[in-house]
Amino acid sequence: MTKNKIKSSSYLFPRPVVLIGANINGKPNFEPLAYVSSVEDKPPLISIASYETHFTNIGIKENGTFSVNTPSEDIIAGTDYCGIVSGKEVDKSKVFDIFYGELKTAPMISKAPLNLECKVIKTLAIKDITGAEIGHELFIGEVVNAYAEQEYLSEGAPDISKINTFTYAMKQYWKVGKPLAKAWEVGKKLMTD
Amino acid sequence: MTKNKIKSSSYLFPRPVVLIGANINGKPNFEPLAYVSSVEDKPPLISIASYETHFTNIGIKENGTFSVNTPSEDIIAGTDYCGIVSGKEVDKSKVFDIFYGELKTAPMISKAPLNLECKVIKTLAIKDITGAEIGHELFIGEVVNAYAEQEYLSEGAPDISKINTFTYAMKQYWKVGKPLAKAWEVGKKLMTD
């Protein structure tokens, strides 16, 4: 078998799907995003990369806040809809029932099983490091608060087997499959004394 | 139903799992990582956040290169093993058969279905933005080359249904489930004229 050079791309399979919430001119707006990652534990930080022309970016920069909402299958159509239409043309403030937390300007989706309320602590325009004329903006947010209903928790923490969320790859959403093996355990068989 | 405040954390469900490869003193080393994300498309950029005490970080900073390897179930034990033992104590250079690309210093795993060869274009110590004494380092790498064998491709691009990779959540690895719906399609039913 031969390794082929294929088109260079930042492939990751599969990606988590979240809805980023922000207020623009005082009105909530949401965009689905898969360019997201944890970047720190103490304090808990999350990075999101959103294209600079997106409506959401205006609100994040206006308020210095955003939310990260993990969708369930129940709101998959609403999630996808928010990726089809732009807040520049369509008012997305009524797509979901929302609530606010202590930051006041990060709208969160009531029906999403998990909501993170985030305060921006660093903004990086990717074009400033690549020299490109346009590009994504990387926002690093501190998770100031996290919210979930009791039914989605096990021992106080969100339980993926209760959340019924989905992932993204190849222009499709995918179910999360079954547990396969325990981490920091399945590899022990390769240990030698 | 009531939204409870739960412990603040940068929850994302589920996370992709990759093996980050780097050379330290000329020897290949690998660490499994789930704190990864795409951050740009043109050029293709990927971010990885790795704790500053990790052995891998030394190699990334030494060479300004790293690799991102997507594992299949076939190498799940080796993937996990690399997360149990540190390269500071154990030589992990023989865990996998490896190859190098044009960057010469980013070791890639032959049995991993997908390999990204990356050149660091930006390094950010998270502690510099949080004021913490210790923390993760965020490396943003340009995907200079991507490699895959023909059997994992459909129309020249990696096909998740052929790769047989897995994800991470709650100290477990999980299978990728079945396709659920098409993106930019399932939301159309919410469109109004």
Residue A193: the pLDDT is: 61
Mutate: best of A1, A2, A3, partner B, most B CBs <10 A: A3
pLDDT in tens, B36-56: 999 999 999 999 999 999 999
Give the minimum alpha-carbon distance from B25 to chain A in angstroms, rounded to a whole number: 23
CB pair distance less than 8 Å for A37 and B47: yes
d(CA A108, CA B152): 39
* Sequence-ordered alpha helix ranges (H) in chain B: 55-63, 76-84, 127-130, 160-163
Cβ contacts of A5 on chain B, cutoff 8 Å: 145-147
State yes or no: pLDDT of B8 exceeds 90. yes
Give the N- to C-terminal CA distance of chain B in Å, as an integer. 34
d(CA A187, CA B169): 16
Q: What ipTM was reported for this prediction? A: 0.97
Residue A192: the pLDDT is: 79
State yes or no: pLDDT of B193 exceeds 80. no
Of B14, B136, B181, the CB nearest to A40: B136
Residue A77: the pLDDT is: 98
Residue B1: the pLDDT is: 67
CB pair distance less than 8 Å for A187 and B39: no
Residue A1: the pLDDT is: 67
Q: Is A44 exposed, middle or buried (0-12, 13-18, 19+ CB in 10 A)?
A: buried
pLDDT in tens, A96-142: 999 999 999 999 999 999 999 999 999 999 999 999 999 999 999 99
Residue A95: the pLDDT is: 96
Residue B192: the pLDDT is: 79
CB pair distance less than 8 Å for A181 and B169: no
Cβ contacts of B153 on chain A, cutoff 8 Å: 4, 6
pLDDT per residue as tens, chain A (193 positions): 699 999 999 999 999 999 999 999 999 999 999 999 999 999 999 999 999 999 999 999 999 999 999 999 999 999 999 999 999 999 999 999 999 999 999 999 999 999 999 999 999 999 999 999 999 999 999 999 999 999 999 999 999 999 999 999 999 999 999 999 999 999 999 997 6
CB pair distance less than 8 Å for B43 and A130: yes
CB pair distance less than 8 Å for A147 and B49: no
Could you tell me the sign of the dihedral formed by the alpha carbons of B73, B79, B83, B89, in that order? Answer: positive
Q: What is the mean pLDDT of residues B75-96?
A: 96
pLDDT in tens, B154-189: 999 999 999 999 999 999 999 999 999 999 999 999
Q: Which residue of A has its CA nearest to B185?
A: A80
Q: What is the mean pLDDT of residues B61-82?
A: 98
Of B16, B68, B180, the CB nearest to A76: B180
d(CA B35, CA A94): 33
The two tokens of residue A61 are: 């920069």
- Residue B146: what are its φ and ψ, rounded to 5°? -125, 140
Closest of A70, A157, A95, A35 to residue B45, by C-alpha: A35
